Amino acid sequence: MAEQRLEEIRKVRLEKVRKLRDLGVNPYPSKVKGKRQDIKEARTRDGQEVEVVGRIMGWREHGNVIFADLKDETDTIQLWFQKNTLGDNFTLLKYFDIGDFLYAKGKVVKTQVGEITVDIVDYQLLTKSIRPLPSTWHGFKDVEERYRQRYVDLLMNEGVRKVFDKRTKLVTELRLFMDNHDFVEVDTPILQPIYGGASAQPFVTHHNALDADLYMRISDELYLKRLIVGGYEKVYEIGRVFRNEGIDRAHNPEFTMMEFYWAYADYEDLIKYSEEMLSFVIQKVCGTTKIKHEEDELNFTPPWPRKTYKELLVEGVGIDIDVADSEDKLKEEIKTRGLKIDLNGVIGYGPLCDKLYKEFIRPKIVQPTLVLDYPAAMIALAKRKDDNLERISSFQLLVKGYELIKAYNELNDPNDQKGRWLEEEKLGERGLEDHMVVDDDYIRALEYGMPPTAGWGLGIDRLTSVLTNQHSLKEVILFPTLRPEK
């Protein structure tokens, strides 16, 4: 019934378009009249003539008088159309609807009830809408529709625009912070001959002219580190990355990351820098470092608590990775302790450690917490600790079960790097789906020499969801990936 009603409305409005054209009125003009003010500014000009543009969001007819609500991105104002003032032009208003775009000129007055109003002396139809706004026929609350038709969601649901405005401010402040600390923003390839920088499945495409398959990047990492080899000492990039993985509240196949690489720094430097950066940026964006998210108040005031991976695993499931230091031993510990965990496709000691961490440790961490010193088998690109070769100099920032930041000292020994990649490829041969592959050009770059370097990555979408009190990433990505519409 709703679809039938919608089609009836569309037919009526298309007929209005035809009649307007017959009357010599262009329902889609290119040029807009006058010198225009934002509606927010126009509302302050009591007694003065103003010219405003926007979308009609309300329409109330009272005989020879019509009131309308006009909205732009700054505010809303009431329009007052009077037949005595407009004469024959008043009759054209019968072809107007909620959703149309309008230019309006007139004097700012106040009604008897004190509402700021523009007494219209001239107007121009700017765009005739064919499809009615959802609130006029069935509302717009269905989650799938909201994500699919974000353009309507922004119009109809108060607060959605504020989420994305805060996201924009967050990215702006992060960029300013990096620039003010002498980092250089760069662009690296999205289409790559070899995917790398993370353990994830890539999207594959084909370039016709080169007759070559290319991969959409899963990380910026390897190209940013090539720039460190090339002489840059502080580089960063904010951009989209793509991973051919499942979709849930914490994952979208395309998402935004900020990554930076800092020559001659180590991961302890990055911890201090992260605390300084995020506490400063969050204060700028939110006005406080104590953030309400669902039922929790999250305190981003540094210093953040620190825990090692080993400590958390012992506390969470009673397993000591210094004892369970191989794939077989770790599987036996899992079996002995009766831990319910799906190990289908989990092959190798590192992936097994990662699975345990994601199942039993990460979901329980609510407050901003730094998790340090992961097993070396978990991240093939990270440098081993000098005092413990079974660990890597690494940390992650966890909040509300999210991994917000991953950082580590970068492996710059080309022989060690190639060997660890070959080990990952062997796991792939055993059936591990998400694994890294050897990138010979990157090994060649390391052979020219890369100075001691620390690297860092932040999920912009996840941080935004925390700062805007949203449960799902779909609420903070303007156009999230969805199943194709039927």
Do 112 and 187 have their domain in common?
A: no
Do 93 and 167 have their domain in common?
A: no
Q: What's the CATH code of the domain at 49?
A: 2.40.50.140
Hey, what amino acid is at 216? M
Q: Do the Cβ atoms of 383 and 410 come closer than 8 Å?
A: yes
Contacts of 359 (CB under 8 A, 6+ apart): 341
Do 36 and 104 have their domain in common?
A: yes
- Whether the pLDDT of residue 142 is over 90: the answer is no
Q: Do the Cβ atoms of 408 and 383 come closer than 8 Å?
A: yes
Assess if residue 146 is contained within a domain. Answer: no
Do 134 and 78 have their domain in common?
A: yes
Q: Cis peptide leading into 451, omega within 30 of 0?
A: no
What is the rounded average pLDDT of the residues 380-394?
A: 95
Do 116 and 61 have their domain in common?
A: yes
Q: Name the pLDDT band for 143 (thresholds 50, 70, 90).
A: confident
Task: Provide the CA 72 distance to its chain's centre, in angstroms.
Answer: 25
Q: Name the pLDDT band for 297 (thresholds 50, 70, 90).
A: very high
Do 24 and 58 have their domain in common?
A: yes
Q: How does DSSP classify residue 112? A: T
Backbone angles phi, psi at 149, to 5 degrees: -115, 60
Q: Closest Cα to residue 187, out of 254, 238, 255?
A: 238
Task: Provide the CA 185 distance to its chain's centre, in angstroms.
Answer: 19
Q: Closest Cα to residue 353, out of 383, 381, 333?
A: 333
CA distance 98 to 114: 24
Predicted local distance difference test score (pLDDT) of residue 356: 93
pTM of the predicted structure, to 2 decimals: 0.92
Do 112 and 192 have their domain in common?
A: no
Judged on CB neighbours under 10 Å (0-12, 13-18, 19+), 237 is buried
Assess if residue 340 is contained within a domain. Answer: no
Say how many domains are in the chain: 2
Contacts of 115 (CB under 8 A, 6+ apart): 78
Mind listing the pLDDT tens digit for each residue in 424-445?
999 989 988 888 999 999 999 9
Predicted local distance difference test score (pLDDT) of residue 135: 64
Predicted local distance difference test score (pLDDT) of residue 280: 98
Judged on CB neighbours under 10 Å (0-12, 13-18, 19+), 221 is buried
Backbone angles phi, psi at 130, to 5 degrees: -95, -35
Q: What's the CATH code of the domain at 215?
A: 3.30.930.10
Predicted local distance difference test score (pLDDT) of residue 55: 97
Do 273 and 399 have their domain in common?
A: yes
Predicted local distance difference test score (pLDDT) of residue 139: 54
Predicted local distance difference test score (pLDDT) of residue 3: 77
Do 166 and 101 have their domain in common?
A: no
**Token pair for 120:** 């219209």
Q: Percent of the chain scored above 70 by pLDDT?
A: 98
Q: Do the Cβ atoms of 215 and 202 come closer than 8 Å?
A: yes
CA distance 470 to 365: 17
Q: Do the Cβ atoms of 317 and 356 come closer than 8 Å?
A: yes
**Token pair for 42:** 């126009």
Residue carrying the six token digits 């016709």: 208
Assess if residue 86 is contained within a domain. Answer: yes
Q: Do the Cβ atoms of 442 and 413 come closer than 8 Å?
A: no
Q: Of the residues 109, 139, 169, which one is the last residue of a structural domain? A: 139
CA distance 475 to 486: 22
- Whether the pLDDT of residue 8 is over 60: the answer is yes
What is the rounded average pLDDT of the residues 65-79?
A: 97
Assess if residue 185 is contained within a domain. Answer: yes
Do 291 and 420 have their domain in common?
A: yes
Q: Map residue 64 onto helix, strand or coil.
A: coil
- Let me know how many helices (H) and strands (E) the chain has, helices first: 14, 20
What is the rounded average pLDDT of the residues 6-30?
A: 95
Q: Closest Cα to residue 163, out of 404, 458, 469?
A: 469
Q: Name the pLDDT band for 136 (thresholds 50, 70, 90).
A: very low
Assess if residue 349 is contained within a domain. Answer: no
Q: Do the Cβ atoms of 465 and 256 come closer than 8 Å?
A: no
Residue range of the domain that includes 20: 2-139
Do 105 and 164 have their domain in common?
A: no
Residue carrying the six token digits 């413990």: 388
Do 288 and 243 have their domain in common?
A: yes
Q: Do the Cβ atoms of 236 and 425 come closer than 8 Å?
A: no
Angle between helices 267-286 and 460-467 (to 10 degrees): 40
